[in-house]
């Protein structure tokens, strides 16, 4: 079977590509390499075609989708901060690009499309854990663009019977995540700062908390979504670890794992930073059989080991 992974050279995408190839699938990885890297796909054991192209190019997307029975749509322009600075580009990539992928999947005969959405769509509600019945309240162009993508997926399921499944991902971390980007996620940035003997920077008081989700759990969820039965189609569901940790908790764990005396430097809280986030994962458990198999501590240990083994900058999310 042939499957298409958009953003396939990025952080999450390349981990998914590796898993699919190991299962014997013929994988087409579509990526413009603006944040992804060919290095992320080195050593993939299986049939892999890397197609370099822009998600905003409808013709290129359709060519990449030819023969694919399933599509995993991960290509996106991430970062709340970046979207505030450039909302037009964020919209073009994340909304127009998603529409291009949906049209291509439908016209080329794919029967399943798994869409990587974001917990950012919930905004900064104080109600925890966050479940899918709650009202959404996107605070940034990035969050709004991911919610628009969810709406298009639902519309294509209702209008064309395309089997879409939307996964709201909560703070994914793991190997291949870029610590050097201006928009780097907090865990790879912390690891790199500690490894280089620098004081980790915290924006705020460090008590803000997140449902940090190890990338292997996300990959597992995507594979489950691709084979899920009818009740999951057209639905949106949370993918997280089901437990939250503060940034100070993360630094404590990293200090234990690295043996470093970690003393953070505190900076002013960034605008639109969410105070706390935690996923209710009951719906994903019910509809696609999702359950996180790797704990936060296990995932953090694996991530530290990978970064210390290969500390050169790798790709960010795509």
Catalytic residues, by residue number, are 142
Question: Does residue 284 sit within a domain?
Answer: no
Does residue 142 share a domain with residue 259?
Answer: no
Report the domain count for the chain.
2
Question: Does residue 50 sit within a domain?
Answer: yes
Does residue 156 share a domain with residue 65?
Answer: yes
- What's the confidence (pLDDT) of residue 317? 37
Q: What is the pLDDT of residues 233-262, one digit of tens each?
A: 999 999 999 899 999 999 999 999 999 999
- Which one, of 245, 235, 157, lies nearest residue 209 by Cα? 245
Does residue 76 share a domain with residue 116?
Answer: yes
pLDDT at 46 over 90: no
Does residue 247 share a domain with residue 118?
Answer: no
Find the CATH number of the domain harbouring 249.
Answer: 3.90.25.10
Does residue 183 share a domain with residue 265?
Answer: yes
Hey, how many other C-beta atoms are within 10 angstroms of the C-beta on 294? 18
Find the CATH number of the domain harbouring 81.
Answer: 3.40.50.720
Q: What is the pLDDT of residues 189-236, one digit of tens each?
A: 999 999 999 999 999 999 999 999 999 999 999 999 999 999 999 999
Q: Tell me the sheet residues that pair with 49.
A: 28
Q: How far is CA 7 from CA 130, 180, 245, in A?
A: 27, 19, 28
Does residue 229 share a domain with residue 159?
Answer: yes
pLDDT at 184 over 80: no
Does residue 101 share a domain with residue 165?
Answer: yes
Question: Does residue 283 sit within a domain?
Answer: no
Does residue 111 share a domain with residue 73?
Answer: yes
Does residue 143 share a domain with residue 106?
Answer: yes
Q: How far apart are the first and last CA of the chain?
A: 23
Question: Does residue 261 sit within a domain?
Answer: yes
What mean pLDDT is predicted for residues 170-189? 88
Q: Which domain holds residue 121?
A: 2-172+215-239
List alpha helices for the chain, DSSP H: 11-22, 58-65, 80-85, 87-91, 97-107, 141-160, 186-195, 215-226, 247-258, 282-288, 296-309
Q: Six-digit token pair at 60?
A: 């290129």
- What's the confidence (pLDDT) of residue 169? 98
Sequence-separated (6 or more) residues with CB below 8 Å from residue 162: 102, 105, 106, 110, 111, 113, 156
Does residue 31 share a domain with residue 100?
Answer: yes
How large a percentage of the chain has pLDDT more than 70? 97
Does residue 234 share a domain with residue 180?
Answer: no
Does residue 66 share a domain with residue 44?
Answer: yes
pLDDT at 180 over 70: yes
Using CA atoms, how far apart are residues 7 and 61, in angstroms rounded to an integer? 12
């Amino acid at each position: 079977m042939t499957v298409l992974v958009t953003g396939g050279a990025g952080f999450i995408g390349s981990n998914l590509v590796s898993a699919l190839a190991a299962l014997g699938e013929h994988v087409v990885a579509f990526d413009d390499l603006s944040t992804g890297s060919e290095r992320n796909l080195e050593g993939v054991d299986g049939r892999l075609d890397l197609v370099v192209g822009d998600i905003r190019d409808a013709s290129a997307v359709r060519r990449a989708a030819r023969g694919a029975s399933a599509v995993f749509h991960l290509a996106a322009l991430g970062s709340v901060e970046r979207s505030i600075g450039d909302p037009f580009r964020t919209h073009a990539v994340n909304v127009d690009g998603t529409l291009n992928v949906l049209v291509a999947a439908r016209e080329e005969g794919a029967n399943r499309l798994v869409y990587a959405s974001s917990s950012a769509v919930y905004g900064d509600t104080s109600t925890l854990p966050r479940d899918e019945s709650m009202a959404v309240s996107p605070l940034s162009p990035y969050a709004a663009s991911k919610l628009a993508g969810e709406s298009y997926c639902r519309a294509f399921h209702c209008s064309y019977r395309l089997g879409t499944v939307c996964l709201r991902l909560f703070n994914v971390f793991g190997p291949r995540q870029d610590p050097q980007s201006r928009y780097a996620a907090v865990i790879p940035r912390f690891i790199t700062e500690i490894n280089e003997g620098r004081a980790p920077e915290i924006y705020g008081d460090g008590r803000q908390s997140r449902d940090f989700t190890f990338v292997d759990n996300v990959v597992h969820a995507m594979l489950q979504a691709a084979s899920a039965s009818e009740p999951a189609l057209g639905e949106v569901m949370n993918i997280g670890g089901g437990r939250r940790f503060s940034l100070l908790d993360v630094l404590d764990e990293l200090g234990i794992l690295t043996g470093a005396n970690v003393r953070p430097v505190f900076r002013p809280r960034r605008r639109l930073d969410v105070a706390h986030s935690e996923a209710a994962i009951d719906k994903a458990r019910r509809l696609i059989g999702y359950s996180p198999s790797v704990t936060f501590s296990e995932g953090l240990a694996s991530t530290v080991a990978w970064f210390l083994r290969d500390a050169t900058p790798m790709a960010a999310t795509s």
